Structure 1
């Protein structure tokens, strides 16, 4: 006799227990109550939003298909990004091996040369032009690693600082295309080279990138702990470290806020936002220290993001309506629009959600096409029978690798 197919609730319960999580712990990780988890596992509550299903699968560490075999799968996009494998391979194995074994060129470049190249890469990353940034990073990292071991001793801190910024750019780039493992590795390299540069604020910036990698991997507890540790160590020293360090500490507070919101910890999330607001008032507007874009507007963007992650869609949209994003990079504006789309989707305003996604695509197409949250939102919209036939939605789905 054929065994009955396990239900969604039974699959959730199985994988939850396999991970050693209680219903309370699973609920906390996805921002839901113990009662909600219990109802799902007893099949008393349906999980009818793909974004929620994707969130549960991420926390349980299984593909969506393991929980809901009939859910639509997204098409792999690696063929659209030939630079990604090359950059990942460049980070594999410690670069010192090839650098030590190589014969240094007569003039391998100075710290100023590498610093200028790193800033040029960051300009492209902030513009969400990933296919341009990836290939530029490869020779920059290789050249700086070689120079770090061949230039005179007094020049090494400047080269190390430029190399750390390059690794931070690589971490940011890889994180944006959801390659969290490689982003984590690049962040670790950024920390190591920042320490060699002897720059405390740069070390903090490397820690910020590492925390972002943890957040991208769903390691919410680790992200909060790493951010809190860095903030506690640096905040008392801000008077001597200056405004650049204050920007990094503020950015770390924002990551704490997002991590807490995704864990369902409302109080900690808004407390961290409050800390960031105080620092933003000190830093002021118009700065981009260590490519964090930290300032009052960036804090306001994260207020929207936190409200969305906590499920407070109305509050998120109210806050979003008061923000002027004209001075921000394409990357930040697009990410803000994705949060706006998510808020509209939570309120079942699907037409407004689609409009926000299409606007985000105009601002930063490569970022949107590779964004996992965008794909989740598109899958949600495609579940609506009234929306499924929308040609604009179907076209966007195709560009993002989501079968329509």
Structure 2
């Protein structure tokens, strides 16, 4: 490029220049990147200035994870290395879900089902998602008709009250859709659903629906690397919900707590230790105020999930010993949702891998595959660990990683 900010895809850029550019785009100082990598600031500077060459694959993969680089070619400049770390395969039901989202409901002449009927179907869909090992397959079969009917109900509502109720259902259907779309090659669709869900939630006037829409929007911003936008969404929504928490019931308290954790997650990504654990503490206090058996169907926020959240905070802060301590204290079997349990086990595997315990990390990934194969198949962190261990100096670990790679569809 002749003018403006250099493009990380420019072939003429050195590895060090690419690293510096991507670091600056994430708003990271060298000190922060060094801390997240477990390296010295002088190491980061030496790599960026070209005094050290391109790191080995394991370090490249860690850099890609920390910087949220989706394709290693963006970091290395090697067009022969197009490894997309954070996108899984396109599901066979993706096209049907896309068609339902893109359909124009006003063109349909059929009558929409009652909101109560949609509510019952939506509750059943959430239960199915949490109990199924192949949860994307289950959601992909349910979503097309749910999306179409919820859009129709919103369009055909005859009164303001009915329309607000229908909009609340539609917002939650879009939330369910985001769980299906996440980590698939459909980022345009994911953003469309996130934005539509937020609009529907606001139109419903339901604080809980607004909280859920914001929770999902914050995740979309953070996964896209826009941490400032994620912070803005969580901060504003927490402030709006806070005065409603005392009288709002368990659902409002749970979504408020879930948003506080999301703020902590983003702070951990920034390397802000105090802020990250401060938000976790606030979320934990909220969880303790919930009934013992309560489990939020969208966010999984509950007492039992806070241990899993602690593992995530420690891992994102690159605190190896602390992340293992939290992993060993958190009981995966207590989490009733199979995909959420598998996600927690992937976070545990990240902790062990960060702490240089790769054998344990691979064993935990095996457990995650047993809990919910579709979760690990679409999870970039799991794929990164497997990819790194395929390059291990240990033949035993290479073999075990190879078996996992076949299981999750990385190798055929």
Scaled to the shorter chain, the TM-score interval is: 0.7 to 0.9
- The structural deviation recorded for 1:308 is 0.8
1:132 aligns with 2:132: no
TM-score (norm 2): 0.85
Give the one of 403, 406, 409 matched to 1:398: 406
SS of the residue corresponding to residue 383 of structure 1 reads coil
Deviation track 1:197-254 (CA, whole Å, cap 9, x = no partner) reads 3311211111111112222222222112211111122112211322211100100011
Give the one of 331, 335, 338 matched to 1:330: 338
What runs of 5+ residues in structure 2 fail to find an aligned partner? Answer: 1-10
- The structural deviation recorded for 1:158 is 2.9
SS of the residue corresponding to residue 203 of structure 1 reads helix
1:352/1:269 Cα in 2 relative to 1: closer, same or farther (>3 Å)? same
Q: Residue in 2 aligned with 1:114? A: 118
Matches within 5 A, 1:14-53: 19=25, 24=30, 27=33, 34-41=41-48, 42-44=50-52, 47-48=55-56, 49=58, 50-53=60-63
Q: Residue in 2 aligned with 1:241? A: 248
Deviation track 1:271-305 (CA, whole Å, cap 9, x = no partner) reads 10111111111114321235222122212211111
- The structural deviation recorded for 1:117 is 1.4
SS of the residue corresponding to residue 44 of structure 1 reads coil
1:53/1:88 Cα in 2 relative to 1: closer, same or farther (>3 Å)? farther
Q: Residue in 2 aligned with 1:170? A: 177
1:189 aligns with 2:196: yes
Residues in 1 aligned to 2:329 and 2:143: alpha-carbon distance in whole angstroms: 37
SS of the residue corresponding to residue 182 of structure 2 reads helix
Q: Residue in 1 aligned with 2:282? A: 275
SS of the residue corresponding to residue 329 of structure 2 reads coil
1:152 aligns with 2:158: yes
- The structural deviation recorded for 1:383 is 2.1
1:35/1:179 Cα in 2 relative to 1: closer, same or farther (>3 Å)? farther
Q: Residue in 1 aligned with 2:5? A: none
C-alpha contact 1:112 1:158 (8 A) present in aligned 2: no
Give the one of 137, 148, 169 matched to 1:142: 148
Residues in 1 aligned to 2:23 and 2:368: alpha-carbon distance in whole angstroms: 35
Matches within 5 A, 1:4-403: 8-13=15-20, 19=25, 24=30, 27=33, 34-41=41-48, 42-44=50-52, 47-48=55-56, 49=58, 50-55=60-65, 58-59=68-69, 63-68=71-76, 69=78, 73=83, 78=89, 81-92=91-102, 98-105=104-111, 108-126=112-130, 127-128=132-133, 129-153=135-159, 154-177=161-184, 179-328=186-335, 329-387=337-395, 390-403=398-411
Residues in 1 aligned to 2:222 and 2:120: alpha-carbon distance in whole angstroms: 29
Residues in 1 aligned to 2:297 and 2:146: alpha-carbon distance in whole angstroms: 18
- The structural deviation recorded for 1:361 is 0.3
SS of the residue corresponding to residue 296 of structure 1 reads coil
SS of the residue corresponding to residue 247 of structure 1 reads helix
Deviation track 1:317-365 (CA, whole Å, cap 9, x = no partner) reads 2122222232321112111111111111112211111101111000000
C-alpha contact 2:345 2:364 (8 A) present in aligned 1: yes
Residues in 2 aligned to 1:156 and 1:5: alpha-carbon distance in whole angstroms: 56
1:376/1:178 Cα in 2 relative to 1: closer, same or farther (>3 Å)? farther
Q: Residue in 1 aligned with 2:8? A: none
Aligned residues: 391
What runs of 5+ residues in structure 1 fail to find an aligned partner? Answer: none
1:46/1:78 Cα in 2 relative to 1: closer, same or farther (>3 Å)? closer
Residues in 2 aligned to 1:368 and 1:218: alpha-carbon distance in whole angstroms: 22
- The structural deviation recorded for 1:72 is 7.5
Deviates more, 1:354-363 or 1:187-196: 187-196
SS of the residue corresponding to residue 113 of structure 2 reads coil
CA RMSD of aligned residues (A): 3.0
SS of the residue corresponding to residue 283 of structure 1 reads coil
Residues in 2 aligned to 1:223 and 1:36: alpha-carbon distance in whole angstroms: 30
Residues in 1 aligned to 2:22 and 2:222: alpha-carbon distance in whole angstroms: 22
Residues in 2 aligned to 1:119 and 1:20: alpha-carbon distance in whole angstroms: 38
